[in-house]
Amino acid sequence: MRVVCMYSHMAFDDPIVFPGKPGASHLHTFFGNKSADGNSTTESLSMGGTTCRGGTANRSAYWVPSLVDTSTMRALVPLRFISYYKSGYNKIPRNQIQAPPNGLRVVAGNAVTQSSARNSWEVHHKFECDFSNDRNQHIPLCGGGKVLSMVLDFPNCWDGVNLDSVDHRSHMSYPVEGICPASHPVPIPVITLNIEYEVPQGETTANWRLASDTYAKSIPAGYSMHGDFWMDWDEEIKSTWMERCVRAGRDCHGHMLGDGREIYGDF
């Protein structure tokens, strides 16, 4: 099941890593919940507006480090954002996958990585130019008129108890040898973020770097790719796409709930 959300805003905030501390983070680009900021709580997000199709059916907040053209120091506005909720991965039976609870906070990637992946938290992002399937952990050189895609997979094994943890990672795990480990026995859907940026005619991505790429410019950009989401779906809608799409193993395509209904509305 997948949903398109439009760009919402940018801010030097990270409501999960720096809660209650506006301005404490590098620049992030936000999608979904319009109210997401450094002071966000589950209660405040539940009352926020959203840029996701379906309106208040999905008040979840999603954010990633902003992409910056370092030749002009201009932060770039994305062309498109799609969130996927998926099953059929690894050895996890679909009928064991549980709905993520509202209020769940999840982080993927590593904001301080300066090289290709070295551990399980650093191997789940990739970039590609113009949907070529030539995917890398660093930003490739894309020419004018092309589309740069950023893809990030979140851990999908939950400890079943905690909505967050001190390090914002310990309550979640990626599968180990294809199954959820005993420490994190509750599988949830594989949640993937796809963010697309259009390269203007006459330009390239040569000077594009993530706001979190604070390492030397001689090192390829993009290794620090990471992202966050804060879950807030209407419970009835979430239950429907969980049963009719994720647990049923059905490709419901964009915005379809699997029961004949479609979430729609202005962004």
Q: Is residue 167 in a domain?
A: yes
Structural domain boundaries enclosing 99: 2-246
Q: By C-alpha distance, which of 75, 77, 16 is closest to 24?
A: 16
- Count of domains forming the chain: 1
Beta strand pairing status for 125-129 and 186-187? unpaired
Q: What global pTM score does this model have?
A: 0.94
Q: Is residue 122 in a domain?
A: yes
CA 119, distance to chain mean position in Å, is 19
Q: Is residue 259 in a domain?
A: no
Q: What is the pLDDT of residues 206-219, one digit of tens each?
A: 999 999 999 999 99
Q: Is residue 39 in a domain?
A: yes
Q: Is residue 254 in a domain?
A: no
Taking every pair of Cα atoms in the chain, the longest distance, rounded to a whole number of angstroms, is: 52
Residues 6+ apart with CB under 8 A from 230: 15, 16, 33, 36, 40, 42, 45, 60, 61, 103, 104, 105
Q: What is the pLDDT of residues 18-27, one digit of tens each?
A: 999 999 999 9
Q: Is residue 134 in a domain?
A: yes
Instruction: Give the pLDDT band of residue 1 (cuts 50, 70, 90).
Output: very high
